[in-house]
Structures are given as C-alpha cells and as structure tokens.
Amino acid sequence: MIKNKHITKEKSFTLIELLVSITIFVLVFLAAMGIFVSSLKGKQRVNELKEIEDNGRYLMESMSREIRMGTIPDSQSGNNDSDLSFIDSDENTIVFSLNANDQLLKNADVISSDRINISNLKFYVNDFLNNSIQPEVTISITIESVANSSVSMDFQNTVSLMSKECNEFSIPIPPGSDLKRVFVTSSDYSGALGGLNGGDNECQTRANMAGLGGIWKAWLSGSATDAKDRISDGVYYVKGPTESNIIAMTKADLIDGTIENLIKYDENGNFVIGYVWTGTDDDGTAHSKNCNDWTSDNFFVDGRYGHTIQKNRYWTDRGSDSCHWWYEKHLYCFEQ
C-alpha cells in the first residue's frame, strides 16, 4: 500500500532577488561612504582655514607691532612693494619680504609656518613726505594651505606709526562729541547666542571682564529688528594698545557702506583677525540669514557674517555660513 507523502517546499531567494538585494546594499553603502567622506573633507577644510587664520593673525600682529614702533625712512614714502624696510625702536634695520619658497622673512629669518604658503604680500606706505601726514603702512597678505592651495584667506591691516607726534585720534573730533567705544569679542560663538539679548549679554560680559564699564550691545539684526536701530548714535571708535581709531563719525556714517578704520581690537586691546556674526547688511538693516534669530547652531541653518580686516561693506556683510559650532565667529560690541 502506497502512502501519500505531503512534501513542504520552503521558499528561498531567487538569483535575481539576491542580486537586487546586493545591489541595493552596495548603493546604500556607497551613499553612506560618500556622506562620510564629504564630512571628513568639510572638517579638513575647516581645520585648514583655522590654521590659516591663526597663522595670519600671528604674522599680522607681529609685523604690525614692530612697524608701529618703528621709523619709516623717507625713501619709503609712497612705496607700493612686496618688501618693507624700516628702523625698529632699537635702531636696527628690519626688512620684511618673501623668499623663493613663499615664506615670510624678517631679515634672513623665516617667521612663517612651513604649513602655509604666502602667495601675495604687499606693503602700501602713504606719501607722508610730500603731504606732511602721519606715516601709515597698509599690509596686504594672502595665505594658502600647503596641503590644499585652493584653501586661502586674505588679510589686511593699516598701521599708524608712533615715530612722529600725533593726537589720540587720527582725525579731528568736534568738541562735545558723544564718543562710543567699539570692540570685537575675544571669544567666538556658534549661532545659538540665545537671541539678540544673548548677544548683548556676551558683549556686556566681555566688557565687564575687561573693566571697560558702560552698557554694551551686539551689532546683530533679527528678523524683526535692524542692528542700526539697536545702537546709540555717536562717534564710534576702537581703542588699541597704542592708538585710538575712529570707526565712524555718526551712525549715518557707520552705515554708508564703508568705515574709517578696522574694528580689529578686542575688549583687552588685542589684535583680532576673524569672522563676525552680524545678520546685517552694510546699510544696517537685517539680512534674512540670522541663525533663526540667533537661537540655532544647526549645521543646515545659516547666518550672515562680516570680517574684522575689512573697511568696505564686508566689515558687516561678507557672506553667509553655517550656524554650527564648527564655524564659530566673533561679535562686534557697541557702547550705548
């Protein structure tokens, strides 16, 4: 007698299904790897920019300090060249120049890092001899990363020499003017400042710690508030270790597209080169990019920024950047 046998057939993947699964897995894996590599490249670029900024700050401060306390020979009046010769405070001749390897020299000594190249160096000396004015030297420098020449940054600073008698301010101040101090914070921040009030609090804290006194507000705009309406009118100036420089004679002068001098000193009088959160166009009005009214440090949310080494509109309206803490920036602070 033959018994019926019930055979149960288990389902299995066909070759086509297996190939489709493998293909999907490979595509997902490649996409994930692409995101990972892109993130690494972004971080590397940030690190390269940070290194350039740190080196640029050091070089500009070093050169500015020596030039400020030196004497420019009459032969350098009106000079526009890639090297500068002057007499320092110890009566020694100093020459800043570039060598063939794009390194900055002080006389024969290399003073720039081997991790950067200097692709451009210019010294502009005003024509003080023929115009009987205080000697000034404008330093312009472009620094590139050795690892990646496409990553570069421009720096510029104007130095007034102390070798001739001059007033505290380089231009006359009308009697009875309401002087307002300005500084850039020594600290930098993500876009999550705690709103406009949070930015003001940071300025006040920096000023208090430096013993400046007074009431201070940040040069920030929000979606419903313009920076120009948040600060008091007056003669704005920034005070450095050896000089005071006028920024603008009035609020209208401040927001006309250019400022008189760089906002380059922090609350302690130290030289600062860096980006600054503003959320503000050059006319003092709000830009649409404001890190969600300065409450967000989301990588995909942007804020408008300026730069301390700019006197044109870029002092407040240089570009937009992520509000993430990878891209922290300083603040401008105005006395009220």
Domain boundaries along the sequence of the chain: 45-160, 179-335
Low-confidence ranges of the chain (pLDDT < 70): 1-13, 39-43, 128-134, 162-176
What was the pLDDT predicted at 88?
81
Contacts 24+ apart (CB under 8 A), 53-57: 53/153, 53/273, 53/274, 55/112, 55/113, 55/115, 55/116, 55/143, 56/141, 56/143, 56/153, 56/155, 56/273, 57/271, 57/272, 57/273, 57/274
What was the pLDDT predicted at 64?
86
What was the pLDDT predicted at 171?
58
What was the pLDDT predicted at 28?
83
CB neighbour class for 146 (10 Å; exposed up to 12, middle 13-18, buried from 19): middle
Domain 179-335 has CATH 2.40.10.340: no
pLDDT tens digit sequence for 182-228:
999 999 999 999 999 999 999 999 999 999 989 999 999 999 999 99
